[in-house]
Structure 1
Amino acid sequence: MRFKLVQALYFLFDRLCHVCPDSVVSQYCQFKPLSVVRAGCYLLLRRKRSAVTRFSARNDAARAKAPAPLQTQPCALMAIPHCSVKTGRAGKGVSHALYVQGLGRYGERSDVVHVEHDNMPAFAVVDPMEFWAAADANERANGRSYREVEFAIPRELATAKEQIKFARNFTDRLISFNHAYTLAIHDAKAADGGRNVHGHLMFTERKHDAIERDAQQFFKRANPKKPEKGGAAKDRALNSREFVKTARALYEDLANRELAVRGAERISMARNEDREPEPKLGPRHPRAGQDLRREARLEVIQNMRAARAELKALGQNQGKLESQILELNTDLAAALAEREALRAKEAKRHQVEKALLAAEKVEKLAILSLAELKAHSYAAVVKELKNQKYETSQEVNTAHGRYTGTVILMTDFHIAQNAGRQLSVVHDRTQLQGEAKEGQNITIQYASGRGQITDRSNERGKDRGRSR
């Protein structure tokens, strides 16, 4: 009860002192008494938050297995810095909260190493999962249950205490006490063999206003004239691009402060115009012929990384040569000769850089020729038909053939049609006009090398596919 009273006082004085920021409170003498009380409430709330880390009561059994410890050995370099903002629609709040906490069906995961909740309203203080369940149940169907900021934690923060402090500092600076949130830290293995320590800040868009509401009223539409009769108002500033820019700038500032203390290289969240980004790989598709473009993109990514590794090796060799020249060459003539050699290597490095940029653009376009794609697609379709116990019949009569039957499967280049008696016909989609989909009963009539697709799904009589 005292905690809620202090919280209400804080929001009241926050409203009264909105023209008097804490950083310049001494400049506004007429507001100084209010600012002192407001600062005291803030410190009490901080003690309360630091002393209590709440977990969901209904999922205590899933927490029986102790989580894996945080990374304790410092790594040489920070993992790739990232800070992204995402949203989750109504109905996805509970499942995502379970994911970030490693509970429920995600209970077997070992990468969740820290979870805490704060700013929860009265109905969700004991069990914060009640808050996300209420958000799913009461937000409008096309609304959002939560907003999430996912951010990397520098590897230079080697201990659990440092990593938690960094995540809390980022949370306090970004949303303060305005929004109920769940904060989780994950520690997984990165692709380079180091640790990928990152945080998930999951919070509601609805802002606290010191009015107690039950679970149903909290998510109702806000009433500006009579706030106590409506729900908590949403912070519309979260929908703007400025919020994303603010979150990324705040993350860059906090990360660079920690890196500067440890003598590490600073990071920048600005886009590097001199480095072409890698194409997005995308998920694997189990369907026939759908992985060809993904495999081509994977080859492009591998070539880009190999070229960058070669460029990095050249830079390292250049550094070694420069140090050897400074230490060993005392003869001026020899030093000048070595300098010319270094210039030649520098010119070669610039040539490699230009070739890399040109190769990246060419490789992104030169993925596969159309004929190769068609050949791969046809082979994949025939293989899938054999798996389904279909035999591929004679070649398609593109002069005046007529084929009727159900579409078995489709790729970007081919349509496989049931011809009856476990036979199938494979059509080239580039020769067809009309639309079709899997499971649809269609007729394909060829004339002079072109085929017309006709939908026969609504006809009573369905002919077996045969060539005429």
Structure 2
Amino acid sequence: MQRLALVRDFVSQEIGERHAYQFAIHNPKAAIAGGEQPHAHIMFSERHCDGIDRDPEQYFKRANSKNPERGGAKKVRFGETPTERKAYLTEQRSRWADLQNAYLEKYQHDDRVDARSYKAQGIDRQPERHLGPYQVRQLDIAQLQAVIDRREAEFVAVEQKEKLQGAIDVTSSLHSVLRERDEAQRTSPVVEREQRQSGKANQDEINKLVNTAMGDIQQDIDLQSLIDSSMAEFAGIHQQQLKQQEQLKQAKLQKQREVERQKQAEKLKQQQSQQLKPKSRGPRM
């Protein structure tokens, strides 16, 4: 019901009563990792509902500007040029993300979506190429596991980067506080004597945080190496799959050529047989 309400709100927001439309919500199981893949298909006509009563056949006819009631509904373009259409779709994509995040928050889901590209988000990662159900069925167990391992490694890497950034922010703040303290100590020897002991404790804490951050950095580097390795393995699997497909294609073409040669040889053999066959003669008188 939440998904249905979300789609209906989006349709009402973007289309309303201005255009004829229909939509369907599908929820197939993911081909590789399983789980749900809910998505909606929304189809609408660019013809504007102007309040004139038309049957479906007339509605989609060419519009008549002089006598609108005699023609079909007039089209309303969502941008006339490719650039304008791209800009409109980009803005629409952002509006969908905002509405989806509002629903996720309303129903207390932790997940959030971002309509921006990885590059715009500052994520150094190549988007995963969609394989589709046919190509997934061609993968064996080892190949499927390589894809799953790559996804898990990337997910863990993102989590570690977020934790690392938090640790770096805390360390930077502590360094800033320490610099301010040192500046104050240089101008006040009494404060320096009173805070010397606590300053040592702060320095120990900073060193501990820096060491933790460096450990996280090393772990992040290790995870990135794992991701690179998984991506390389997946690329090799994909290249091998393409090579196998090409070999099958060539074998099929070779078989077709062989069948064609056999047909031609059989045809030629029949023609030669007909030429060598003696002609029948009529009875002698």
TM-score (norm. length: structure 1): 0.38
Residue in 1 that maps onto 2:215 = 345
Q: Structure 1 residue 175: deviation in Å?
A: 0.9
Residue in 1 that maps onto 2:147 = 301
Residue in 2 that maps onto 1:210 = 51
Residue in 2 that maps onto 1:105 = none
- Counterpart among 68, 88, 99 of residue 254 in structure 1: 99
CA deviations 1:13-42 (Å, max 9, x no partner) are xxxxxxxxxxxxxxxxxxxxxxxxxxxxxx
My pick for the range that moved more, 202-211 or 257-266, is: 257-266
RMSD: 4.7
CA distance in 1, matches of 2:33, 2:252: 42
Note if contact 1:180-1:203 (Cα within 8 Å) is conserved in structure 2: yes
Note if contact 2:153-2:227 (Cα within 8 Å) is conserved in structure 1: no
Note if contact 2:164-2:217 (Cα within 8 Å) is conserved in structure 1: no
Q: Does 1:244 align with 2:118?
A: no
Code of the aligned partner of 2:93: R
CA deviations 1:395-448 (Å, max 9, x no partner) are xxxxxxxxxxxxxxx823424766xxxxxxxxxxxxxxxxxxx5885349xxxx
Q: Structure 1 residue 296: deviation in Å?
A: 8.4
- Counterpart among 281, 286, 296 of residue 131 in structure 2: 281
Code of the aligned partner of 2:216: E
Structure 1 residues 366 and 171: CA distance shift in structure 2, 3 A: same
Structure 1 residues 348 and 413: CA distance shift in structure 2, 3 A: farther
Residue in 1 that maps onto 2:118 = 272
Note if contact 1:206-1:232 (Cα within 8 Å) is conserved in structure 2: yes
Q: How does 1:378-393 map to 2 (within 5 A)?
A: none
Note if contact 1:222-1:233 (Cα within 8 Å) is conserved in structure 2: yes
Which structure would you say has the larger Rg? 2
Q: Does 1:355 align with 2:225?
A: yes
Gaps of 5+ in 1: 1-159, 323-329, 379-409, 419-437, 445-455
Q: Structure 1 residue 241: deviation in Å?
A: 2.6
Code of the aligned partner of 1:180: A
Structure 1 residues 215 and 246: CA distance shift in structure 2, 3 A: same
Q: Does 1:442 align with 2:248?
A: no
Gaps of 5+ in 2: 169-199, 271-285
TM-score (norm. length: structure 2): 0.58
Q: How does 1:29-68 map to 2 (within 5 A)?
A: none
CA distance in 2, matches of 1:413, 1:201: 41
CA distance in 2, matches of 1:258, 1:178: 24
SS in 2 for 1:305: helix
Structure 1 residues 307 and 335: CA distance shift in structure 2, 3 A: same
Q: Which has the higher helix share?
A: 2
Residue in 2 that maps onto 1:291 = 138
CA distance in 1, matches of 2:38, 2:239: 41
CA distance in 1, matches of 2:233, 2:131: 14
User: Larger relative CO (CA 8 A, sep 6+): 1 or 2?
Assistant: 2
Note if contact 1:279-1:301 (Cα within 8 Å) is conserved in structure 2: no
Q: Structure 1 residue 269: deviation in Å?
A: 0.4
Q: Structure 1 residue 200: deviation in Å?
A: 3.7
Q: Structure 1 residue 278: deviation in Å?
A: 1.6
Q: Does 1:219 align with 2:60?
A: yes
Structure 1 residues 225 and 241: CA distance shift in structure 2, 3 A: farther
Code of the aligned partner of 1:235: V
CA deviations 1:293-333 (Å, max 9, x no partner) are x88874552231132255367569979x99xxxxxxx9667
Query: How many pairs does the alignment contain?
Result: 228
